[in-house]
Amino acid sequence: MNVADLMTDSVFSLGPEASLRELQELMWEHDIRHVPIVDDRGELVGLVSQRDLARATDGTATLPLSARNDFLQSTKIVTVMTEEVATAEPTDDIRVAAQTMFENKYGCLPVVAGRRLVGILTESDFVRLLAEGD
């Protein structure tokens, strides 16, 4: 089985200049924990996890709601994203991808063809595979 057989190919992504507010809303609306960051050519330039967002907003919990909202709206994703991202290719063996995720404690691997984002492989994809018995 290859990564392409298991990955989610309808990926929600944002650009590096989007705000943390946009990121937060995307994660809440679609119940996702990882958002690949792409440039205007669709090439992967980074990744933001729910944990990254929590870390970035940790110091804002005691701020008044308006100040917290201003922070989220004015802070760009590029300031909190991880730029060096491990990836998989659609033709990679799924066991190799799983081993990479397990050994490095990654919750996901963006799937790229060259540098272009074509999908995402998450822990949930593996759970789905086992639950469906395929």
pLDDT of residue 134: 54
Helices 50-57 and 20-30: angle between axes, nearest 10 degrees:
140
Instruction: Give 32's pLDDT tier (boundaries 50, 70, 90).
Output: very high
Sign, Cα dihedral of 118, 122, 128, 130: positive
Q: Please state, in angstroms and as integers, the Cα–Cα distance from residue 114 to each residue in 13, 95, 118, following that order.
A: 17, 21, 10
**Overall average pLDDT of the 11-20 stretch:** 97
**Overall average pLDDT of the 1-20 stretch:** 96
pLDDT of residue 133: 74
State in Å, rounded, how far the first CA of the chain is from the last one: 10
Statement: the pTM of the whole predicted model exceeds 0.85:
yes
pLDDT tens digit string along 49-101? Answer: 999 999 988 878 778 888 888 999 999 999 999 999 999 999 999 999 999 99
pLDDT of residue 76: 97
- Look at residue 13 and tell me whether its pLDDT is greater than 90: yes
| CATH superfamily, region 3-132 | CBS-domain (3.10.580.10)
pLDDT of residue 88: 97
